[in-house]
Chains A and B, each alone.
Chain A
Amino acid sequence: MNLVKKTNTQYLLFLAFLFPIMMVVDYFFIQYIVNSEVNEILQHEQKRIDFHLSKQGKLPTSNYLMKTTPLERTFDTIPEFKDTLFFEGYAGKQIPYRTYSFTTSINTRPVRITLKHVLLEINELIWLLFITTSFITLILMVGIYFINQKIYKWAWRPFFENLSKLKKYDVTQKNPIHLKASKIQEFEELNKVISTLIDQVEKDFQNLKEFNENISHEIQTPLAIIRNKVVLLLESENLDEKELKRVESIYQETNKLSKIGKALTLISRIENQEFTRMDQIDVHTVVVNILSSMEEIIDFKNIKISLELDAVSMECDHILGDILFTNLIKNAVQHNKKGGTIKMRLTDGKFEIINTGKVSEIAIEKLFQRFQKGGTAKDSLGLGLAITQKICEIYGFELQYIRDTDTHMFSLFFANKKVLNPSN
C-alpha cells in the first residue's frame, strides 16, 4: 500500500467513524434549537393573547390556538409544555406538535388556553441530517484527497525521485548519485544519511576491490621467488628422493597458488569492469583459432571434433570473448575421455558445445561456483566456469548446462546484450 492510499484510507476511516457521531450530536443539537425556538414562539403568543385580553377583553385570532377550556374556579396552574402527536387528515398521518397550556381569564372567567406548534418530524430530521452530514463529509473527503494529492506531488516529489535514483544505483558502476534536495527537513536529513551511507559503501567497495586486486597481484612476486628457489633446490644434487618429493610438492602447490591468484585477479578485473571495449568479434574465427591452439592436445586425446559454425558475430570485449570461448572449449577437452567427441554448433545468438565425458559429481547449481572441480581433473582449479559465468553476467549473456549420463552440453545465448555503463 503506498503512502497516499494509506493516508487516504486513514482519513476515510476517521470520517466513517465521525459520521454517526456527527449525526447523533447534530440530532440532539438541532432538536434542542428547534424546541427552544418553538417554546419562544408559543410564549410570545401567550404574551400577545394576554395583552389582547386585557385591552379588548376577547381572544385575538391566533394561528396557534388549539383550544380554550373554561375553568370552574381560578387556580394558578403552572404553564406547561407538552409534546403530542395529532392525526392530520390532510397528511394522513400523525404529526408531532408541541403544546403550551397556560391559565388566564376572559372577562373575569378563568380559562385554560392551550397553544400548539408543529414540530419537525423525526424522520425528516434524520434525513435532513443524513443528507447534510453526508454532504459535508463528501466535501471533506474530496478536499482531503486533493490536498493530499498536492502534498504528495509537491512535498514528496524529491523523495520519490531520490527513491527511483536509489533503485537504479549500483555500487559496482561508477555512477555517482546526486540526491534531489528538499525543503522538508526530514527529507533533507534522510538525504544526508543516505549520502553518508553511500559514501561509506563506495569506500568499502573500493577498499575491497583494491584489496582483492592487491592481494592476488602482490602475491605473484613472492610466489615467483619461491618458485625459482624451489627449482634451484630441485636442481641440487644433494637431495635424496624423499626430500625431492617434498620439494616437488612445494613446487606444485606454489604453482597452484599462483594460478589461483591469476584467476582471481581476472575475476576481480572483470567485476571492476576494466574491460570496457565493445568489439565486434567474429565468433567463428575465435572458435577456430582456439581449436588450432589446442590441436595437439585434442589429437593427443583422440577427440573427434564436429563443427557446425555459421558466420556469427558477437559484441563484447575481444579479450573477454576469447577467454569465454577458450574456457568453454578447454572445459570440453579437459573433461573429455580418450576417443571422445566434441560437437559445436554456432547459430545466430547461440553457441552450443556438447562433449562426452565422465559422469559429473558436481550438482548443477554449484557448477558455476568458484572452486568447484570435477573428480576427474585433480589439477583443475575450478575457476574456469566461474570466470565464464562472470563474463556472461556483465554482458547479460545466458549460459545453460544440461547433462545426460555421459554427455555434457553448454549452451551460450549471447544475443541479449546489456549495454554496460551507458554514461561512461
Chain B
Amino acid sequence: MKILVTEDNVELLKDIKSFLEEEGNICEIAPDHRSAFNKIGIFPYDILVVDITLPDGNGLDIIKAVKRENIEAGIIIISAKNAVGDKVHGLEIGADDYLVKPFYLAELNARIKALYRRKMYNGEREIRFNEFKIKPDSYEVFVNGHLLNLTKKEFDIIHFFVVNRHRLLTKEAIAEHLWGDDIEMADSYKFIYTHIANLRKKITEKKGVDYIQSIYSVGYKFTDRE
C-alpha cells in the first residue's frame, strides 16, 4: 500500500519510513504542512499518517482538505498532545484513528494494516501466514484449517504477532497494545508470559509450528526465519 507520513521530526520520519518500507509498503514522507499538501494533490495514497503539530500549520487542516477534496484515504493522526479534545476533534473531522506519541512502530503498523483492511476490503480480508489464517472480524484463528480456541487477549496477541511478523515485539509494546496506556501494570508482563505459553500449547496441539521466539527477556518475535 502507499502511505504518506507527515511528521516534522526528520529522525522519527526516517524510522517510520524504514519500518513501513520493510513491511513492503511504499512510504513517502512530508516534513511539513506545505509539502504534505503538494504530495496529496498529486499522488493517490491509501493511508495518510498526520502529525497535528507541524512547523508551518496544523495537521488538522490537512485532514479537512483531504475530506473536502473527497480523497479516498485512511487517516491516522499521530500527536504528542495527549489531549482528548484533539482526539475527538480529529476523529470528528474525518480521521480514522489516533495515536499518541511516543508510540511503538509495531503499533502504528498494526493500526495502518487494520485501517487498510477496513477501508479496502470492508474488513473481509483474511490475514495469512504459512499455516495460519486469521479472520480479524470474527476473532478467529485457524491453524492448518483447525480453529483455535482462544481467549480474547490470546487472539489479540497472535493477531498482533502476525501483523508484525519478523519484528521484535517488546513486552511493553504488547502490553500497550492489549490494554492501552492507562491500565498496563507490572502484572501485565506476567500475564503475557503465561498466555504466550498457552498460545504455544494451543498452536502445537493443532500441529502448527510455534513461530514465537523469545528474545531474552525483552520480548518476542513471530517469524519463520532463522
Contact for B186 among A220, A251, A274, A379, CB less than 8 A:
A379
- Contact residues, A222-253 vs B (CB, 8 A): 223-225, 227-229, 231-232, 234-235, 241, 244-245, 248, 251-252
Are A228 and B172 closer than 8 Å at their CB atoms?
no
Q: Which of B61-69, B80-88, B135-143 lies at the interface with chain A?
A: B80-88
- A297 an interface residue at 8 Å Cβ cutoff? yes
Contact for A293 among B12, B179, B218, CB less than 8 A:
B179
Report the minimum CB–CB distance from B32 to chain A (whole Å): 15
Are B168 and A248 closer than 8 Å at their CB atoms?
no
Contact for B187 among A234, A241, A297, CB less than 8 A:
A297
In this complex, what residue of A is CB-closest to B181? A262
Contact for A258 among B102, B179, B194, CB less than 8 A:
B102
Q: Which of A124-132, A170-178, A326-334, A415-423 lies at the interface with chain B?
A: A326-334
- Contact residues, A279-298 vs B (CB, 8 A): 290, 293-294, 296-297
- B35 an interface residue at 8 Å Cβ cutoff? no
- B101 an interface residue at 8 Å Cβ cutoff? yes
Are B102 and A223 closer than 8 Å at their CB atoms?
yes
Per the bound structure, the CA–CA distance linking A244 and B215 in Å amounts to: 10
Are B185 and A231 closer than 8 Å at their CB atoms?
no
- A301 an interface residue at 8 Å Cβ cutoff? yes
1/0 per residue, CB under 8 A from A, across B151-178: the answer is 1010000000000000110101000000
In this complex, what residue of B is CB-closest to A275? B84
Instruction: Kindly list chain A residues whose C-beta atoms are within 8 Å of the C-beta of B102.
Output: 220-221, 223-224, 227, 258
Are B12 and A224 closer than 8 Å at their CB atoms?
yes
In this complex, what residue of B is CB-closest to A265? B82
Are A231 and B170 closer than 8 Å at their CB atoms?
yes
Report the minimum CB–CB distance from B17 to chain A (whole Å): 11
Instruction: Kindly list chain B residues whose C-beta atoms are within 8 Å of the C-beta of A227.
Output: 102, 104
In this complex, what residue of B is CB-closest to A299? B191
- B9 an interface residue at 8 Å Cβ cutoff? yes
Per the bound structure, the CA–CA distance linking A251 and B216 in Å amounts to: 13
Per the bound structure, the CA–CA distance linking A208 and B170 in Å amounts to: 36
- B38 an interface residue at 8 Å Cβ cutoff? no
Interface size class of A (residues with CB under 8 A): 35 or more
Are B185 and A380 closer than 8 Å at their CB atoms?
yes
- B217 an interface residue at 8 Å Cβ cutoff? yes
- A323 an interface residue at 8 Å Cβ cutoff? yes
In this complex, what residue of B is CB-closest to A327? B182
Instruction: Kindly list chain A residues whose C-beta atoms are within 8 Å of the C-beta of B186.
Output: 334, 377-380
Instruction: Kindly list chain A residues whose C-beta atoms are within 8 Å of the C-beta of B80.
Output: 217-218, 220-221
- B15 an interface residue at 8 Å Cβ cutoff? yes
Per the bound structure, the CA–CA distance linking A333 and B185 in Å amounts to: 9
Contact for B185 among A218, A255, A274, A330, CB less than 8 A:
A330
User: Taking A221-B12, A262-B181 as contacts, is the C-beta distance between A228 and B187 under 8 angstroms?
Assistant: no
- B105 an interface residue at 8 Å Cβ cutoff? yes
Per the bound structure, the CA–CA distance linking A379 and B186 in Å amounts to: 6
Report the minimum CB–CB distance from B50 to chain A (whole Å): 15
Contact for A300 among B83, B167, B194, CB less than 8 A:
B194
Are A228 and B170 closer than 8 Å at their CB atoms?
no
Per the bound structure, the CA–CA distance linking A44 and B85 in Å amounts to: 108
Are A297 and B185 closer than 8 Å at their CB atoms?
yes
Report the minimum CB–CB distance from A275 to chain B (whole Å): 9
- A266 an interface residue at 8 Å Cβ cutoff? yes
Report the minimum CB–CB distance from B131 to chain A (whole Å): 25
Residues in B lying within 8 Å of A, measured CB to CB? 9, 11-12, 15, 19, 80-84, 101-105, 151, 153, 167-168, 170, 172, 179, 181-183, 185-188, 190-191, 194, 215-219, 221
Q: List 13 A-B contacts (CB under 8 A).
A: A218-B80, A221-B80, A221-B102, A228-B12, A234-B168, A234-B170, A244-B218, A290-B183, A296-B153, A297-B187, A297-B191, A334-B186, A377-B185
Beyond known contacts A224-B101, A377-B186: 19 more, CB 8 A cutoff: A221-B12, A227-B104, A228-B19, A228-B105, A231-B168, A232-B15, A234-B170, A241-B216, A251-B218, A269-B83, A294-B179, A296-B153, A297-B187, A300-B187, A333-B187, A377-B185, A379-B186, A380-B185, A380-B186
